[in-house]
Amino acid sequence: MALYERILITGAAGRLGSELRKGLAPLANTIRLAGRTPFSDLAEHEEQVVFDLSDMKATIAATEACDAIVHFGGAALECSWQTILNSNIRGSYHIYEGARKHGARRVIYASSVHAIGYYKLEDHISVEAPVRPDSLYGVSKNFVESLSRLYWDKFGIESACLRIFSSFPKPADRRMLWSYLSFNDCVRLTTAALTAPRISHTVTFGLSNNTVKVVDNSGANHLGYLPQDCSEPWKAEIEASTEIPDPNRSSVKYLGGWFCELDHPDDKESE
């Protein structure tokens, strides 16, 4: 007996969505994959819905009959205000409206380190620290964290907002030695959020068990997430091939890394 009847995964064609598609299979009888283009390789337990998150009607329809939603869709990097607005802000509102209208019990949302990117490494913030986004992308993550809080307090829909740090096949630079979240740990974290006895509204940091720890995740211990991976295997190689960075450079000093050094996206557009 699977825990859920049907889980909707948005962004299912993406880097993390592809991992979740595999990793969450045991949790539901049916996995419904959402993307902007069709999936050509559906397994038996899978079905698909193709739409754009900015389409309110289609998005709400896609959530029908889903008792859980894993919302990893939308823009995954800093980009123009119009894209952030349509994909991340409007799109996520549509998802939560779908959850409300169609009775989903739980939503797992891919928030990001960029929601709190302007904290320093040594600040060791808890999951309750005030937001400090480092980009429009980060602001949109804060928006959904706020929106999902409303849907819990008012409508009783549980949410976990996973502030994913750096989830890639392997750590690619010195910063990722502390910000790395392995794909398998990302699946473990999402699984924990879907199976914990009660998550109410939870914000949590998505990190593997790296040696250097820069945040305090204890406020989300009720999720029961136990990371199994860490960045150590790549440490020597990365340190040998890169310079020691200036500790006061924004990309070194702040959790958000190079996002803190990005220009405002519309500057480039408007030129």
Phi then psi for residue 263, to 5 deg, are: -70, 170
Of 13 and 53, which has the nearer Cβ to a second copy?
53
Could you say whether residue 58 binds a second copy (CB under 8 A)?
A: no
Applying CB under 8 A, the site for a second copy has a residue count of: 74
Span interacting with a second copy, options 12-20, 40-48, 163-171, 194-202, rule CB under 8 A: 194-202
Task: Say if CB 44 and CB 105 are below 8 A apart.
Answer: no
Nearer to a second copy, 9 or 160 (CB): 160
Shortest Å, Cβ 1 to a second copy? 6
By CB under 8 A, is residue 85 in contact with a second copy? yes
Establish if 221 lies at the interface with a second copy (CB under 8 A). yes
Distance CA(28)–CA(66), nearest Å, equals: 10
Look up 4 and say whether it is catalytic. Answer: no
Contact 164, 16 (CB under 8 A): yes
By the rule CB under 8 A, 218 interacts with a second copy: yes
Sorted by sequence, the CB contacts under 8 Å of residue 244 that are 6+ apart come out as none
243: which 2 tokens?
């310079």
Amino acid at residue number 82? Q
Give the pair of three-digit tokens for residue 211: 């040696």
Q: How far is the CB of 41 from a second copy (least distance, A)?
A: 29
Site for a second copy in 112-171 (CB under 8 A): 118, 120-122, 124, 128-136, 138-139, 142-143, 145-147, 149-150, 153-156, 158
3-state secondary structure (DSSP) of residue 139: helix
Residue 266 found at the interface with a second copy (CB under 8 A):
yes
Using CB under 8 A as the binding rule, whether residue 3 contacts a second copy is answered as yes
Q: Are 135 and 179 in contact (CB under 8 A)?
A: no
CA distance 36 to 53: 8
Catalytic one of 4, 96, 118, 137: 137
Active site residues: 137
